[in-house]
Copies of this chain bind each other. A is one copy, B any other.
Amino acid sequence: MPRYYEDLEIGETYETGGYTVTKEEIIEFAEQFDPQPFHLDEEAARDSMFGELVASGLHTLCLSVRLFVTEIVNGEVDIANMGGLGMDDLRWHEPVRPGETLRVRVEVVGKTPSTSRSDRGYVDFRRSVVNDADEEVMSILSHNIVRRTDAAD
């Protein structure tokens, strides 16, 4: 049974397992979506403000969504997610380097019933991405559309 809008409580927290990002993946992602020198080439990255090759922040965001969707939404929490409205407060606090293992901590921080649609409500999730040293490398607030129980009858 999935968990519907009514089943989620403000203050609930979840944590995913780890995902280790490789240098090959960092470069492949950057070639596709964010081809800047410090994400593509170790030599060029030395002259950047990072001083070494680092993952695109967009890549970190994508990996955090993958962990959230596979392990939380489709996983043990099993949330009746209908889609996304948007995101706020995305911040990259620390660079992510090849070989680092990322985990995601999630907290339900807000709930608003839809006034126009009785089958859904809006749930705000604060998501924090941490590395092996338990440093926060990224944080974001996501706004999701979640189905209500009665809509499933």
| Interface positions of A (Cβ within 8 A of B) | 32-36, 38, 48-50, 57-58, 61-63, 65-66, 69-70, 73-74, 81-92, 120, 145
Per the bound structure, the CA–CA distance linking A65 and B58 in Å amounts to 9
Q: Please state the number of chain copies in the assembly.
A: 2
* Contacts known (A65-B33, A65-B58, A66-B33); A88 close to B88, Cβ less than 8 A: yes
Chain A interface main SS type: mixed
| Cβ contact within 8 Å between A86 and B91 | yes
How near does chain B come to A94, taking the closest CB pair, in angstroms?
12
Chain B CB within 10 A, most for which of A34, A82, A84, A90: A90
| Cβ contact within 8 Å between A90 and B92 | no
- In the bound complex, residues from chain B placing their C-beta under 8 Å from that of A145 are 49
Per the bound structure, the CA–CA distance linking A74 and B34 in Å amounts to 10
How near does chain B come to A45, taking the closest CB pair, in angstroms?
11
| Cβ contact within 8 Å between B83 and A34 | no
- In the bound complex, residues from chain B placing their C-beta under 8 Å from that of A57 are 83-84, 86
* Contacts known (A48-B82, A49-B83, A84-B57); A34 close to B90, Cβ less than 8 A: no
